[in-house]
Amino acid sequence: MRFILICLCSLLSLNSSAQKQTVKLYNSLAQERKDEVVSLSWNEIIATYPDLDPANFKVINAVSKAELPFQLEYKGTPQLQNLLVQVSIPAKGSLSLKLVKGKHKAFQAKTFARYVPERKDDFAWENDRIAFRMYGKALEKFPNEMAYGVDVWTKRTDSLIVNKWYKSETYHTDKGEGMDYYNVGHTLGAGDNAPYINDTIRFPKNYTKWKVLDNGPLRSTFQLSYDEWLASGRMVNVVKTISIDAGSQLSRTEAEYSWNDAKPLPVVVGIAKRPANGMISLNEKDGIMAYWEPTDPKNGTTGTGCIFTAPVKQMQVKQGSLLTETVLTKPSSIVYYNGAAWDRAGRITSAEVWIKYLNQKAEALKNPIEVSFVR
């Protein structure tokens, strides 16, 4: 009898311990965090759930028991790095998650990225809000089409469209899903970066190598590498790591620069400016550069913008662009967020709404969702 009681007590103790295992999320801001992708350290997950099988678990709301979409993030490595979960948390509110054994339901992919060899080496990426592309080496053979910066594909659908649009080759006309009417040309487009030496943007040629690190359903991440180029007498290298999360109008860009002398390297992040009047906001204090383009009577209005995670030297309108300048004193990276919105998508329909969105996003970046593990 004593043996049975000991076993029963041990079992109850184990069950009680398992019940306590929780991941708690807290939103410290006075604004809702809606459909935000939160990153949870896989090492912390395993420390909390040591018997967790990565191939057989679900993430649930600890209160409602509703299942939440998630992604295992590898960052291009063989080892798991993070668990990504898409959550909504009210202002000054919290959310408790549990990881339970079982087969999770199929998640709809909300992000996607791929190399597009059939269209002159484009690289395209998208989420359920917006789409972008960068231009590859093959485009350099067509001088009349040559472009450098980030291109925007405006969307009015939550569906992923990159493969469909490239296949149809009719994406310059809106057929109810959106279109490509953004003009990049010889600019940095919607937030690309380049050295800025002697008041001149020193464009590289287009990217030559690519690598996909993760590809949905909640985050897609990839790298673009460029051949070394001569920037006003200096040899410069750059590798760009870009990611996009479900539910966001913005990509995260990390540009890692190196060069061949000991002098600091000025770098700008730019947004193409149109000849007609639009709304320009250069907020150096908060690190937000925003542009609401003049309305195209046929195609609507696009907003573009950047958020910087570190202090910048200056913002200015120059050489047909909105430019934010920073200075690298040694080989290192600049990190920022860049993206766009389209009024015909129905979510962001004015300059005021676009500025509000960027301000709220900047606050969210400064105040990430707080994560604690209860073991």
| Residue entry with tokens 């006003």 | 232
Instruction: Give which of 189, 197, 282, 284 is closest to 233, Cα–Cα.
Output: 197
The string of pLDDT tens digits covering residues 38-62 is: 999 999 999 999 999 999 999 999 9
- pLDDT of the residue at 375: 87
pLDDT band at 73 (very low <50, low <70, confident <90, very high): very high
Contact 196, 325 (CB under 8 A): yes
| Residue entry with tokens 């992604």 | 71
- pLDDT of the residue at 11: 34
| Fold designation for 111-366 | Beta-galactosidase; Chain A, domain 5 (2.70.98)
Instruction: Give which of 361, 344, 145 is closest to 249, Cα–Cα.
Output: 361
What gap in Å lies between CA 51 and CA 65, rounded to an integer? Answer: 21
Sign of the dihedral defined by the CA atoms of residues 127, 107, 35, 369, in that order: negative
Task: Name the strand (E) or helix (H) holding 6.
Answer: helix 2-20
Residue 13 carries which DSSP code? H
Tell me: pLDDT of 14 over 50.
no
- pLDDT of the residue at 16: 40
Determine phi and psi for 263, rounding to 5 degrees.
-80, 150
C-alpha distances out from residue 274 to 126, 149, 177, 196, 337, Å: 24, 15, 24, 21, 21
Residues of each domain in the chain carrying CATH 2.60.40.1180 = 21-103
Contact 207, 226 (CB under 8 A): yes
Tell me: pLDDT of 91 over 70.
yes
262 CB burial (10 A radius; 0-12, 13-18, 19+): exposed
Mean residue pLDDT across the chain: 94
Strands laid side by side in the 151-155 sheet: 111-116, 122-127, 131-134, 151-155, 178-179
316 CB burial (10 A radius; 0-12, 13-18, 19+): middle
- pLDDT of the residue at 6: 37
- pLDDT of the residue at 344: 98
- pLDDT of the residue at 171: 87
How many angstroms from the chain centroid is the CA of residue 81?
17
CATH of domain 21-103: 2.60.40.1180
Tell me: pLDDT of 117 over 60.
yes
Other beta carbons within 10 angstroms of residue 66's beta carbon come to: 9
C-alpha distances out from residue 67 to 18, 27, 86, 100, Å: 18, 20, 11, 10
What gap in Å lies between CA 26 and CA 29, rounded to an integer? Answer: 9
What whole-number percentage of the chain has pLDDT above 70? Answer: 95
Tell me: pLDDT of 1 over 70.
no
Instruction: Give which of 361, 354, 350, 340 is closest to 178, Cα–Cα.
Output: 340
Residues of each domain in the chain carrying CATH 2.70.98 = 111-366
The string of pLDDT tens digits covering residues 228-279 is: 999 999 999 999 999 999 999 999 999 999 999 999 999 999 999 999 999 9
- pLDDT of the residue at 196: 97
**Those residues with Cβ within 8 angstroms of residue 17's Cβ, 6 or more apart along the chain or in another chain:** none
- pLDDT of the residue at 20: 83
- Angle, vertex CA 21, rays to CA 19 and CA 26, nearest 5: 120
Give the DSSP letter string of 286-348. TTEEEEEPPPBTTTB-EEEEEEESS--SEEEEETTEEEEEEEESSSEEEEEEEEEEEGGGSS-
The two beta strands, 219-225 and 234-245, are antiparallel
Task: Name the strand (E) or helix (H) holding 134.
Answer: strand 131-134
The string of pLDDT tens digits covering residues 207-219 is: 999 999 999 999 9
Which of 7-16, 128-137, 254-263 shows the lowest mean pLDDT across its residues? Answer: 7-16
